[in-house]
Amino acid sequence: MQEKSYHQSGAEAGPEVWQAIIQALQNIRYGSVEIIIQDAKIVQIERKEKVRFDKENSATRR
């Protein structure tokens, strides 16, 4: 079985990728941001945001 070596610097990403990550993180209060990496390259960013309801049953985006 062949062992892969990984660069210490981590996944490769250009400025446009970092900007997309920052945008995904902005204003999110409940949820997650998932970064998909293949072959040491960021290939996809997923943002999942939760919608919570208060006790009065009105939707609030947090």
Domain for residue 36, yes or no? yes
| Host domain of residue 26 | 15-61
User: Residue 48: phi, psi to the nearest 5?
Assistant: -120, 120
Q: How far apart are CA 14 and CA 6, in angstroms?
A: 18
Domain for residue 56, yes or no? yes
Domain for residue 28, yes or no? yes
Q: Tell me the pLDDT band of 57, cut-offs 50, 70 and 90.
A: low
Q: How far apart are CA 16 and CA 14, in angstroms?
A: 6
Domain for residue 2, yes or no? no
Q: Would you call 23 helix, strand, or coil by DSSP?
A: helix
- Count how many domains the chain has: 1
pLDDT value at position 51?
87
| Residues 13-30: tens digit of each pLDDT | 889 999 999 999 998 989
pTM > 0.75: no
Q: Tell me the pLDDT band of 3, cut-offs 50, 70 and 90.
A: very low
Domain for residue 10, yes or no? no
User: Residue 17: phi, psi to the nearest 5?
Assistant: -70, -45
